[in-house]
Amino acid sequence: MCSIFGILDLKTDPIELRNKALQCSRLMRHRGPDWSGIYIDNYVILAHQRLSIIDVDSGAQPLYNVDQTHVLAVNGEIYNHEEIRTQLSKKYVFQTGSDCEVILALYQEKDINFLDDLQGMFAFILWDKLKKSILLAEIILVSFHSIWAKINMITLI
């Protein structure tokens, strides 16, 4: 199982926080021993520890859209990713074979109104640099008949 974390709405110089973020990320290493990725800008720090299951070779995170204006750190699995990829392949340039990259494609296509399109179990942090907003979502399959969901949108000014 992968792990993700973020430091949001930075009040401290991100370069100063980078070492602390790397230390925190290393504490999660046991959850994702195959890859460590970190994204830092003046507003957010996103970290990801990866356990490679799908797209072992090119699914490193955080993931970015082509313009690198959307940044995604995600843990989980998108069960219907092949269907979504097929639907959006003419409108979105996929850069990896990661099942989770479809989150970026859907966000680009539908803004925040895409979560109902996803089938799976996942938690993610999506940073939109242009809007300076963060979308946090967690969908957990409690049983085959119920799903627990928590969704938050935060705008940093």
> pLDDT class for 14, splitting at 50, 70, 90?
confident
Share of the chain above pLDDT 90, in %: 39
What element of type H or E holds 73? strand 70-78
Q: How far apart are CA 67 and CA 63, in angstroms?
A: 12
**Active site (annotated) includes residue 2:** yes
Written in H, E and C, the secondary structure of 78-124 is ECCHHHHHHHHCCCCCCCCCCCCHHHHHHHHHHCCCCHHHCCEEEEE
Are the beta carbons of 7 and 43 closer than 8 angstroms? no
Given 2, 102, 106, 135, the catalytic residue: 2
Share of the chain above pLDDT 70, in %: 71
Please give the pLDDT value at position 69.
97
Please give the pLDDT value at position 67.
96
Q: Model confidence over 33-87: pLDDT tens digits?
A: 556 788 988 888 898 876 555 555 655 789 999 999 999 999 888 999 999 999 9
Q: How far apart are CA 112 and CA 47, in angstroms?
A: 22
Please give the pLDDT value at position 19.
74
- Which CATH number applies to 3-155? 3.60.20.10
